Structure 1
Amino acid sequence: MTLPVGWKLTTIGEVADINRRNPYLRELPDNLNVTFVPMAAVDAFSGMIAAPRIRSLGEVRKGFTPFSDGDVIFAKITPSMENGKAAVAKDLKNGLGFGSTEFHVISAKEGLLSTYIYYFIRQESFRRDAKANFAGTAGQLRVPSSFIGNYPFPLPPLTEQERIVARIEELFTQLEAGVAGLKRIQAALKRYKASVLKAAVSGKLLNGELVIGDGELPKGWRWVTVGDVATKVTDGTHKTPRYVDNGVPFISVNNISSDGIIDFSDCKFITSEEHEYLYKRCNPEIGDVLLTKVGTIGLTAVIKTNTIFSLFVNTALIKPAHEKILPNYLAYVLRYGFISESYEEYISGSTQKFIGNKKITQLPIPLPTLKEQQRINVEVDQRLSVATQVEATVQVGLKRAGRLRQAVLKSAFEGKLTA
């Protein structure tokens, strides 16, 4: 790397202490209030410490990582590191903070701005290199402190660091304003899609016009349960199968999108023999409806592919009685029931929410005639299709904003941002 005049290439360990010990902590009283920062409190996108807590020093003195105002905390464990969890500690109670043992603490020495090194480690290139140097076992992979200490680091004069940080923050403020606008559009689209489903399943999507309101079901509609209109309700295997590199797709809650798509691009695989065994109890076919039932509850998808696959326990399989209900209508009405929290009383669990198969059969649904269901499906498909297209455009914009952020950082640490 060719650096501008006045810059020098050093290492992070030369200009900052990694996990420096504070010998004065032992002299402080246990009743001193300090800031406590769990991993979840660090926002991976903004780098802000959200909702920090106040603890007495005696509560956190042992078993947690100490840091001070101006230190940079950096998540060392997967997947928090890859997600970008890092922050500059500031406005700490009594200038002291404690957090997860999965943080590395980078303390800038004289001549280095904390915000400058913070933005440096926010680069995706730094995180990629950190990931390539993980140590430990699967699920417990961590970035060694030696990786950070030995990492090459471009150091400009302090005044130039100040100019670079100011320019980064100016550009990021502009980008974040655009991102906020895109996220407002996302939220509006989410509300719109929910309103479309509400109108559809309450009989108020009439003559191509969206009319929102409460009231009784329209004439010819009636209340039934899923069990009344399904020939089978089951779920996938309750045992984790043996995964293979190639084989039959194994679908779980992670492969069902909020738009009702079954995503085969990032699924696991099982052997044909195991699939055949599992298929005897749970046999997904075209026209069946999938419903996520553990953790993320209420996402639905209609099977429209001949691709054979098996299911995990967190996804239910519902076989509609086609002479009573159309698959798309069933998927829409179930999705809205969970979005609107109408089915909240049927959900169990505290730490992890779930809905059992028996409870699924008891879910109430408004049932129009098949002709009306067909008309509703056409209307909903058209409206949600437009919303999905707009969402895709918004998503492209958000990804572009992310790339621009990284381009700004790359330019900054090559000495080109303020040139």
Structure 2
Amino acid sequence: MLKDWIEVELGDVCDLKNGFAFKSKEYVEISETMNFRMSQIRPNGKIDLDHNPKYLPDEYAFSYSDYLLENGDIVIAMTDMASDTKILGVPTIVKQDKRKLLLNQRVGKFFNLNTNCVYIPYLRYIITSPQIYSYYKKLGKGGVQINLSKDDILNAKLPLAPLPEQRAIASKIEQLFSELDNGIANLKTAKSKLEIYRQAILKQAFEGNLTKDWRKKQPKNHGNHVNQKNHSADNLPATWKWVKLSEVANHITDGDHQAPPKASEGIPFITISNIDKSTNRIDFSNTFYVEKEYYFNLKENRKPQKGDILYTVTGSFGIPVLIDFIKDFCFQRHIGLIRPLESINQKWLYWLLQTRLVYGQASEKATGTAQKTVALSILRNITIPFCPIEEQNQIVQEIETRLSVCDKLNEAIDQSLEKAQALRQSILKKAFEGKLLSQDELQTCRQQPDWEPADKLLERVKKDSKTKR
């Protein structure tokens, strides 16, 4: 910390107000008054008013006016899930649209900010720093949910710089973040283009175009064993046919519908949050566990085996995962399990399940409002193009040859995005430690008419406050 800086508690420069405990029975279908809940605060510190919004009667904006939020207010999440902590202690700045926002319980609003000694954008960046975030995460208390009290939040220690330096730091962070955001936007654009290319390859593959030349080289009796009565000649090769997904699987089932007894160790229990959509892989690093006895008592068609394909069916539905490894684990009922016939190339089916053809059918027939669900009956009846096993093998080879470079590029982009996030945290860390501004920038700040050491600044502000009282 620089010599003209001092360490203060957050409560020295502001206060915190908790929201009101609005009840779900008070919600209405639509209005211009929204309940601002924790779900509106995203892990990246941004606000998302359209993330699972809940509305209250418009008259509440008058009867609960003490809880109305305004543009520029700083709010903070005071509660999070213990199993998947992402937003605990994460602050964000309110940006309103036409809707009025009422502060919900367990979301705190900073108020009485002493702008005579703290520049609000500087405060927002400082309390977003990894040092403060780590402090809040360690303080979180609770079992299923972890909570921060008002005192926990206000007791956080932060560096107070002279006002001109606060303004310069905030300005430099905004400049660096803007450049970083432009780079991230370019990376995401490249990633979306790769996904377009990926889907184009899959479309070509399952319309038979990637294996057109291969089929020409096959004997005339190639595909004779395929029953052609369901064949639609206008959009499939002559040796292909349309079938239901259930016709190429031994089993299509889902996880146990009873809530499993949790254990501190044992057999991993997978939920949708353990499935990485970007890689179509399972993350076993943060799972629940069940007793071995529970696992061994499950039906065999609910115990994943090598060669099975998991398929998410609720919420973030439509994500297939190929089980290409041997490991004992089980999964929740929001995940389906497809066990292909022995005569089916599992990778062929895995790639097919990633096509828009399959996802479109699942999406069209999914039921529910807040959380869409693809029932097993819907999954079993999804129509897919079927071809002989020899061509399945060739299709897998054609796809993987083309997408191997695409996957490497995608991986490189993901690594760059991770580095960008790490760089963002590094910028905030340097700001917290007083290392972000150069000596020339500091010298410019010291020439400002309102520059004074932070200890004198705080002392003067407190003295002025007492005089006014």
Amino acid at match of 2:281: I
Quick check: which has more Rg, 1 or 2? Answer: 2
Q: How far apart are the structure 2 equivalents of 1:189 and 1:405?
A: 25
For the 8 Å contact 1:75–1:81, the answer to whether it is kept is no
1:124-144 deviation digits (Å, cap 9, x = unpaired): 221121122124x33442211
Match of 1:313 among 316, 321, 333: 333
Confirm or deny that 1:394 pairs with 2:399.
Answer: no
How many residues end up aligned between the 2 structures?
Answer: 399
Query: Does 2:199 match 1:180?
Result: no
2:297 matches 1:277: yes
> Does residue 268 in structure 1 map to residue 288 in structure 2?
yes
Residues 71 and 225 (structure 1), Cα distance of their counterparts in 2 relative to 1, 3 Å cut: closer
Which has the larger displacement, 304-313 or 151-160? 304-313
2:201–2:399 Cα contact (<8 Å) kept: yes
| SS state at 2:361 partner | coil
Long gaps (5+) in structure 1: 22-32
1:47 and 2:33 aligned: no
Partner of 1:153: 158
Report the equivalent of 2:146. Answer: 141
Judging changes above 3 Å, is the alpha-carbon distance between structure 1 residues 245 and 4 closer, same or farther for their aligned structure 2 residues?
same
Partner secondary structure for residue 353 of structure 2: helix
Partner of 1:414: 433
**Contact kept? 2:352, 2:358, Cα under 8 Å:** no
Paired residue secondary structure (2:175)? helix
Is residue 112 of structure 1 aligned with residue 118 of structure 2? Answer: yes
Q: Please say which of residues 65-74 and 325-334 is displaced more in the overlay.
A: 65-74
Map Cα deviations across residues 30-50 of structure 1 (whole Å, 9 max, x no partner).
xxx989744444454363565
CA RMSD after TM alignment: 3.2
Equivalent residue number for residue 104 of structure 2? 100
Flag the 1:185–1:128 CA change in 2: closer, same or farther, 3 A. Answer: same
Q: Which amino acid aligns with 2:16?
A: I
Q: Distance in 2 between matches of 1:20 and 1:334?
A: 46
Identical counterparts, % of pairs: 27
User: Could you tell me which residue of structure 2 aligns to residue 16 of structure 1?
Assistant: 14
DSSP 3-state at the match of 2:80: coil
Mapped partners of 1:92, 1:369: distance in 2: 55
Is this contact kept in 2: 1:116–1:165, CA < 8 A?
A: yes
TM-score, normalised with respect to structure 2 = 0.76
C-alpha separation between the residues in 1 aligned to 2:248 and 2:18? 65
Q: Does 1:363 align with 2:382?
A: yes
- Is 1:170 aligned with 2:171? no
- Unaligned runs of at least 5 residues, structure 2: 20-31, 215-232, 439-469
TM-score, with normalisation over the residues of structure 1? 0.84
Q: Distance in 2 between matches of 1:285 and 1:255?
A: 18
Distance 1:215 1:196, change over 3 A: farther
Which amino acid in the other structure matches residue 227 of structure 1? S
Is 2:77–2:88's contact at 8 Å kept on the other side of the alignment? no
CA distance in 2, matches of 1:64, 1:339: 50
From the superposition, tell whether residues 260 and 381 of structure 1 become closer, same or farther in structure 2 (CA, over 3 Å).
farther
Deviates more, 1:103-112 or 1:72-81: 72-81
Query: In structure 2, do the counterparts of structure 1 residues 83 and 358 end up closer, same or farther at CA, with 3 Å as the change threshold?
Result: same
8 Å Cα contact 1:247-1:271 kept in structure 2: yes
> Aligned equivalents of 1:36 and 1:285: distance in 2?
45
Structure 1 residue aligned with 2:241? 222
Pair 1:331 & 2:350 matched: yes
Change (3 A) 1:112 1:69: farther
Please give the per-residue CA displacement for 1:334-364, whole angstroms capped at 9, x wherever unaligned. Answer: 2215665133343222222222222222111
The DSSP-based 3-state class of the residue aligned with 2:435 is: coil
Amino acid of the structure 2 residue aligned with 1:359: I
